[in-house]
């Protein structure tokens, strides 16, 4: 039976390595600093009691609230199951299997390439410059043949840096009429002045991905948004599933996007940015720390002299980090999500205990 099932599986799926999400990797811990989640929980209440009817495919009320928040027309917004669904829908809508390609710029978020692999679409990996983490515009331009989508994470995960705005504008100009440029702004609330939303009005080949999972502290409801020109949103509406956004998700998301909800989000962002600055200052004083990369998000990438010992020691103590050692340019690097002050303090204490042994 096992062999017969294996013979039915698509060849590109048979050997696919699935995305190793934080929960899939596991770790028996109570300080989870491996998924870039918000450590400050938000309590929501709902008066909804009836769930026997399907929800709207695209809830108008939620789109209206996000439209007000981001300053775009409702026709430029698609609601998705996290930003992840936006990544998938774009490949589904614009890329022909075994014919077209995408570009991504490692080290970056793995789901761009994994979604392409699932759809039997080629991924061209154009690494960023090692010394600056900036995109290699010339190399991208030399590899645009067959490319329909270019994915750029900004701030980039896991490096935490901001991509130069002028580089993105130049890329948009070079690819107009041939490729779509997708800017993943999952972490943009932690550096809101660096958003590329204002570029949408002049660049029809720009697409922006957003989420409520990070700064809005709503990773558990899986709610994201794709922002683009109306023509692109209309195409994505053709391929999205019939009822993607549960009624209760809409209710909670609207609460988060209310005036008070947005204020609370900004307060959390301020707190976490302060925690990041404190954590970075403390890490600079530890001898086992080789390099700390500048971050504009709710995580920081750190290169350690003894990264395996540190990772395992913290793991055993219930402090779970994300190992990045396997990625290009990231040997001996660990990504640390910014936790609460008490979680950051505990992390530093444990690293000091190990480094002083």
Q: What is the pLDDT of residue 2?
A: 62
Q: What is the pLDDT of residue 336?
A: 98
DSSP secondary structure code for residue 355 in this structure: H
Which residues 6+ apart lie within 8 Å of 149 measured at CB? 90, 91, 94, 95, 102, 103, 179, 180, 182
pLDDT of residue 356 exceeding 80, the answer is no
What pLDDT, in 10s, does the model give residues 19-63? 877 777 777 788 999 999 999 999 999 999 999 999 999 999 999
What pLDDT, in 10s, does the model give residues 84-110? 999 999 999 999 999 999 999 999 999
What pLDDT, in 10s, does the model give residues 228-278? 999 999 999 999 999 999 999 999 999 999 999 999 999 999 999 999 999
Which residues 6+ apart lie within 8 Å of 9 measured at CB? none
Are 197 and 227 within 8 A, CB to CB? yes
Q: What is the pLDDT of residue 18?
A: 86
pLDDT of residue 220 exceeding 70, the answer is yes
User: Cβ atoms within 10 A of the Cβ of 61, count?
Assistant: 12
Are 210 and 224 within 8 A, CB to CB? yes
pLDDT of residue 146 exceeding 90, the answer is yes
Give the Cα separation of 338 and 276 in Å (integer): 6
Percent pLDDT > 70 in the chain is 99
pLDDT of residue 11 exceeding 90, the answer is no
pLDDT of residue 79 exceeding 80, the answer is yes
Say what the pTM is: 0.96
Q: What is the pLDDT of residue 212?
A: 98
Q: Which residue has the tokens 């690819």?
A: 175
What sign for the dihedral angle of Cα 34, 38, 44, 46? negative
Mean pLDDT of the chain: 96
pLDDT of residue 226 exceeding 70, the answer is yes
The full set of domains in the chain, from first to last, is 25-35+261-355 (3.90.1150.10), 60-260 (3.40.640.10)
Residues in the chain: 357
Preceding amide of 213 cis, omega within 30? no
Q: What is the pLDDT of residue 327?
A: 97
């Amino acid at each position: 039976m096992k062999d017969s099932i294996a013979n039915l599986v698509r060849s590109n799926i048979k050997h696919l390595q699935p995305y190793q999400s934080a929960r899939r990797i596991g770790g028996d811990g109570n300080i989870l600093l491996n998924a870039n989640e918000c450590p400050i929980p938000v309590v929501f209440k709902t008066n909804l009691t009836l769930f026997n009817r399907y929800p709207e495919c695209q809830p108008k009320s939620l789109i209206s609230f996000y439209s007000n928040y981001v300053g775009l027309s409702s026709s430029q917004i698609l609601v998705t199951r996290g930003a992840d669904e936006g990544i998938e829908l774009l490949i589904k809508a614009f890329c022909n299997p075994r014919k077209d390609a995408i570009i991504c710029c490692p080290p970056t978020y793995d789901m761009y390439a994994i979604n392409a692999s699932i759809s039997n679409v080629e991924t061209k990996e154009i690494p960023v410059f090692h010394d600056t983490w900036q995109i290699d515009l010339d190399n991208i331009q030399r590899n645009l043949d067959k490319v329909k989508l270019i994915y750029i994470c900004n701030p980039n995960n896991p490096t935490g840096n901001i991509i130069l705005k002028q580089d993105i504008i130049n890329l948009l100009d070079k690819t107009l009429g041939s490729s779509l440029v997708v800017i993943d702004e999952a972490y943009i609330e932690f550096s809101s002045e660096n958003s590329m939303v204002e570029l949408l009005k002049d660049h029809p080949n720009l697409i922006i991905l957003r989420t409520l999972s990070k700064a809005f502290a709503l990773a558990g409801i899986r709610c994201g948004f794709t922002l683009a020109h109306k023509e692109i949103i209309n195409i994505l509406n053709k391929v999205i599933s019939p009822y993607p956004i549960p009624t209760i998700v809409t209710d909670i998301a609207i609460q988060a996007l209310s005036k008070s909800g947005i204020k609370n989000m900004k307060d959390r962002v301020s707190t976490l940015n302060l925690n990041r600055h404190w954590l970075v200052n403390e890490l600079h004083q530890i001898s086992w720390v080789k390099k700390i990369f500048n971050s504009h998000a709710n995580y920081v990438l750190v290169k350690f002299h003894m990264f395996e010992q540190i990772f395992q020691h913290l793991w055993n103590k219930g402090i779970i980090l994300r190992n990045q050692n396997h990625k290009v340019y990231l040997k001996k690097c660990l990504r640390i999500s910014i936790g609460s002050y008490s979680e950051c303090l505990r992390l530093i204490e444990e690293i000091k205990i190990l480094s002083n042994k």
